Chains A and B, each alone.
Chain A
Amino acid sequence: MTYDVVFVVASALAIVSALGVVLSSNPFHSALSLIGNLVALAAMYLLLQSDFLAAAQVIVYAGAVMIMFLFVIAYLGGRAHEPVRSRPWWQTVAALAAAVAVAAEIGFAVEEQAFGDGAHVSDLFGAPQAIAASFLGRYVLTFEATSVLLLIAAVGGVTLAARRPAPREAGAVGAFEEVERLAPATSLQAEVVDAETRFDIVRAGSVPDEEGKG
Chain B
Amino acid sequence: MHVGVAWFLFVSAALFGIGLYGVFTRRSPIILLLSVEIMLNASNLALISFARYWGDQAGQVFALVVMAVAASEVVVGLGLVVAMARRRADLDVDSLRGLRN
Contacts and interface: CB of A to CB of B under 8 A. Distances in A.
Given A103-B17, A115-B6, A146-B65, A48 B38 contact: no
Interface string A60-75: 1100110011001101
Contact of B27 (A47, A82, A117): A82
A76 B62 CA distance: 34
Contact of B26 (A22, A34, A64, A113): A22
B45 A44 contact: yes
Contacts of A18: 15, 18-19, 38
B61 A69 contact: no
Contacts of A69: 30, 33-34, 74, 78
Given A15-B14, A64-B71, A68-B74, A7 B3 contact: yes
Chain A at the B interface: SS class: helix
Contacts of B13: 102-104, 106-107, 110
A148 B15 CA distance: 30
Q: Which among A60, A111, A131, A153 has the highest number of chain B CB atoms within 10 Å?
A: A153
- Counting contact residues on chain B (CB < 8 A from A), the size range is 35 or more
Interface in A1-40: 3-4, 7, 11, 14-15, 18-19, 21-22, 27, 30-31, 34, 37-38
Given A69-B34, A76-B91, A99-B24, A146 B60 contact: no
Contacts of B30: 27, 30-31, 69, 72-73, 76, 80
A153 B14 contact: no
Interface stretch (A88-96, A174-182, A186-194): A88-96
9 contacts: A22-B22, A27-B28, A53-B48, A61-B37, A80-B91, A91-B24, A98-B24, A134-B58, A134-B61
Closest 4 CB pairs of A and B: A103-B17, A119-B55, A160-B79, A153-B72
